Chain A
Amino acid sequence: MSRPNTFRAGPDEHGHFGIYGGRFVAETLMPLILEVEKAYDEARADPDFQGEMKARLAQYVGRPNPLYFAERLTAHLGGAKVYFKREELNHTGAHKINNCIGQILLARRMGKKRIIAETGAGQHGVATATVCALFDMPCTIYMGEVDIARQQPNVFRMKLLGAEVRSVTSGARTLKDSMNEALRDWVTNVEDTYYLIGTVAGPHPYPAMVRDFQSVIGDEVRRQMQEMEGRLPDSLVACVGGGSNAMGLFHPFLDDPAVAMIGVEAAGHGVDKGPDAHAASITGGRPGVLHGNRTYLLQDEDGQILEGHSISAGLDYPGVGPEHSWLHDMGRVEYAAVTDDEALAAFQLCARLEGIIPALESAHALAEIVKRAPSLPQDHLMVLCLSGRGDKDIFTVAGHLGVTL
């Protein structure tokens, strides 16, 4: 494959990143997707839209959040200098709100009256319910029955915020099935409903749009690292469920060849422990078509989608954003996988060394840093996207540690 002049030009007008992406949806949805694309193209070029987004991110979300030098962790690992991009300090406790602010402004601009969303860990559901409260729009969140059980605090938060949480009992009852149900809702309520997708997946234009809204993460890191170290970072590490926090961190740096990037997937019980034991789509899957795009998927030989497993509800998805699939094939981004146990260890390490309880999702990225940092030189600047805080995960972690709360 020839190396393109830029890695930042995609997707093409059909929504393709190389062979990935596209618009694989039912005809009923096609006109809606074209409408979202048109509205987003207009909004993106509108200074008023950009201005309002910037103001909301500053005043409501609390941006910019810090780039923080994790001194004790760095000393403990004894190698690379580790920085945390503190997305967990955003209002609602994760990066998901960056995208929700952008999309709710778009939905309002389009005159939509009702919002639907899927959620896994509940972070995107909470962020969506939050912006719906702020903008006074009714909101329905689809969440798998299994995820509802393991993310009770977030379910209650969504309800407090006025959202209706619909339990999804089809399929594996996790994130992929919630996305199916949200698509079924959208196909049924085409007139007034906006589907607020929570990651860089789905049909075009969602992967590009969500990436653009999340790119504020990488833009800030670029500026902050210049201020703190006078240069660009050497490597960026982020967890990959659908891949939105990773795309947001990576995208502004894709054309800086000296900046290495590592996307960390969930290896669950281990990528070698069988196709249903992990949720590492790139590491352990192959290209296929699901939820509107072509991308790496966990699937059997016959093209049936597998359920996958991760301790982290937010990474428990059998697909990945199409741009990641392309960046993988192009060799621009490296993809690694971290097991449940490694993430649990990193989760506890971070709490004790830095006084920060990370989301289990983010703990996967941290676990990869724990593996790599010790053998890197001390002037190597490494950035972790600390995508969310871990309050939502304390019950899951307690359970794994044999503690009853």
Chain B
Amino acid sequence: MSTVEQGRIARRFAALRAEGRAGLVTFITAGDPDHDTCAALLKGLPAAGADLIELGMPFSDPMADGPAIQASDLRALKAGARVSRTLELVRAFRAAEADTPVILMGYYNPIYAYGVERFLADAGAAGVDGLIVVDLPPEEDAELCLPALKAGISFVRLATPTTDDARLPAVLRNTSGFVYYVAIAGITGTASADAVAVAGAVERLKRHTDLPVAVGFGIKTPDQAAGIARVADAAVVGSAIVSRIAANLDADGTARPGLVDDVLGFVRELSAGVRGARG
């Protein structure tokens, strides 16, 4: 098994650096709107321009998420999403795609219920590269962060506008892969970040770490993604993509035929924004 330092995440950011551009990180929820549609979306994401993939692990109580991702979690759960099915999605994706990193993002309880050791073993085997677990701050590193690092899976930490200089070293200590800067104090899919404030925050992070910095929360359009791509190593888009999925559902929640093409088309626009940002 590859170690964290030479894993897919590090290789992808090195390649982006070599290309002289920032990356696009896309977020969708595993099993939204249903298992097969989600699998088709995942499969199409790299060609549509996603440089890294965040795959949300649905949770009944997503405390840090706004209405769009809350709704997508509920859709996925209603369609039968489970931790084991999420790992199946990754395994199927990995069978056809060797290079694009997959980071699972979610809340701790479903992982805890699955069993930490078993989860890390199964996630590693499925081809998961990293974890973002919203409700595990550094104070709880012993739960999952340290075991994940031991298992060769990155633990990507969130730094936020409330993370001051005194606290930053603790936040960065066991972080690996990249640092995810949450551009606003708030939940996903609501306010938009101010690019100037983000630039300052990224600079501050860079003084404390050599890891790449991805920025997310509130990035909704190709233009906004481009703005972030000028100042950070990657731009993360979640709620806007998830809302695009929602816009392609029938009243009863079933996927309309054009869903995958429409969503991937939107990802292509985001990617064009990010790729053209420093041109």
Which residues on A are within 8 Å of B, measured CB to CB? 14, 22-32, 170-171, 176-177, 180, 183-184, 187-190, 288-292, 297, 299, 301-305
Contact = CB atoms under 8 A, between A and B. Distances in A.
B109 interface: yes
A99 B265 CA distance: 53
B113 interface: yes
Given A28-B182, A302-B82, A304-B77, A187 B112 contact: no
A303 B109 contact: yes
Contacts of B210: none
B167 A301 contact: no
A304 B161 contact: no
Interface class of chain A by DSSP? mixed
A167 to B, nearest CB: 14
Given A171-B61, A184-B66, 4 more contacts: A27-B163, A30-B162, A190-B162, A289-B135
Contact of B109 (A29, A32, A188, A299): A299
A302 B159 contact: no
Contacts of B59: 303-304
B187 A188 contact: yes
A26 B112 contact: no
Contacts of B114: 302-303
Given A27-B159, A184-B187, A303-B112, A176 B61 contact: yes
B137 A27 contact: yes
A288 B109 contact: yes
Given A299-B113, A303-B109, A28 B135 contact: no
Contacts of B66: 184
Nearest to A24: B135
B160 A302 contact: no
Contact of A27 (B82, B110, B182): B182
Interface string B105-126: 0011111111000000000000
A28 B160 contact: yes
B61 A305 contact: yes
Contact of A25 (B137, B157, B185, B187): B137
Q: In the complex, which of the residues B61, B64, B164 has the most CB atoms of chain A within 10 Å of its own CB atom? A: B61
B259 interface: no
A93 B210 CA distance: 57
B70 interface: yes
8 contacts: A23-B137, A26-B63, A26-B64, A27-B158, A30-B162, A31-B167, A301-B113, A303-B112
Interface string B80-115: 001100000000000000000000000111111110
A161 B64 CA distance: 30
B135 A188 contact: no
B179 to A, nearest CB: 11
Contacts of B140: 22-24
A302 B137 contact: no
3 tightest Cβ-Cβ pairs between the two chains A and B: A303-B113, A303-B110, A188-B186
A26 B185 contact: no
B254 interface: no
Given A27-B163, A171-B60, A14 B113 contact: no
A346 B140 CA distance: 43
B133 to A, nearest CB: 9
Interface of B: 59-64, 66-67, 70, 77, 82-83, 107-114, 134-137, 139-140, 157-164, 167, 171, 182, 185-187, 190-191
Contacts of B191: 188
A353 B61 CA distance: 43
Contact of B63 (A30, A184, A303): A184
Contacts of B164: 31
Nearest to A287: B112
A136 to B, nearest CB: 26
A31 B140 CA distance: 14
A240 to B, nearest CB: 20
Contacts of A187: 63-64, 185-187
Contacts of A190: 161-162, 185
A239 B64 CA distance: 31
A183 B160 CA distance: 16
B108 A28 contact: no
Given A24-B135, A24-B136, A304-B60, A170 B70 contact: yes
Nearest to B59: A304
Q: In the complex, which of the residues A23, A27, A301, A304 has the most CB atoms of chain B within 10 Å of its own CB atom? A: A27
A187 B189 CA distance: 13
A27 B112 contact: no
Contacts of B167: 30-31
B61 A289 contact: no
Contacts of B158: 26-28
Contacts of A32: 162
Given A28-B160, A302-B110, A188 B61 contact: no
A28 B216 CA distance: 14
A322 B190 CA distance: 32
A195 B193 CA distance: 25
B135 A26 contact: yes
Contacts of B136: 24
Contact of B134 (A26, A189, A301, A303): A26
A310 to B, nearest CB: 18
A303 B64 contact: no
A183 B159 CA distance: 18
A301 B135 CA distance: 20
Given A32-B162, A188-B185, A188-B186, A305 B60 contact: yes
Q: In the complex, which of the residues A31, A171, A190 has the most CB atoms of chain B within 10 Å of its own CB atom? A: A31
Nearest to A177: B61
A23 B70 contact: no
A303 B111 contact: yes
A370 to B, nearest CB: 35
A180 B113 contact: no
A288 B113 contact: yes
Given A25-B135, A303-B83, A290 B61 contact: yes
A278 to B, nearest CB: 17
B160 A24 contact: no
Nearest to B139: A23
